[in-house]
Amino acid sequence: MARPQQKTFDKHKIVAENRRARFDYHIDETFEAGIALTGTEVKSLRFGEGSIAEAYADIRNGEAWLINSNVPEFSHGNRFNHEPKRARKLLLHEREIARLHGAVERKGMTLVPLSIYFNSRGRAKVELALARGKNAADKRHSIKERDWKRDQARIMREHG
């Protein structure tokens, strides 16, 4: 039986992307979550600033949190500016949070943010992945596979 296709989200404007996550982890399932942001954080993200390279998600007291994501201070924010590396609450349904919490606790998986983007309605969203870490041999294999695909494309272009 064919594996079901993963659903894609309506990404209108991608602000930050964690490209390293797909190399370091086996991605099992993806979720879309809203983020509780303050006004200056939204403005800073709309200018395309922000980083989730070292960020992860955690479940505490039945709530999901995005930890260690960096949204720099807004340049015109004066005294109402936000703290750049504060923990931000992720907006998910209780059933989704319970499912993620169970997978992290029982199966030893990790919640990794893949991207922050604005959807077509202008809402800030996080693409969250339920992932399992790769070991060194898996990483070497994915590098070898990527190089072979690149060589294959080059050969096809040359001998078309």
- For 107, the token pair is 């199966």
- Are 77 and 43 in contact by the 8 Å Cβ rule? The answer is yes
For the chain, the domains span 13-134
Residues 6 or more apart whose CB falls under 8 angstroms from that of 84 comprise 70, 71, 72, 73
Sheet strands (E) in 40-109: 56-60, 63-67, 88-91
For domain 13-134, the question of CATH label 2.40.280.10 is answered with yes
CA distance 11 to 58: 23
Predicted confidence pLDDT, tens digits, the chain (160 residues): 565 665 677 778 899 999 888 888 889 999 999 999 988 888 888 888 889 999 999 999 999 999 999 988 888 777 778 888 899 999 999 999 999 999 998 888 899 999 999 998 889 999 999 998 888 888 899 899 999 999 999 999 998 7
- For 159, the token pair is 């001998």
pTM (global) more than 0.85: no
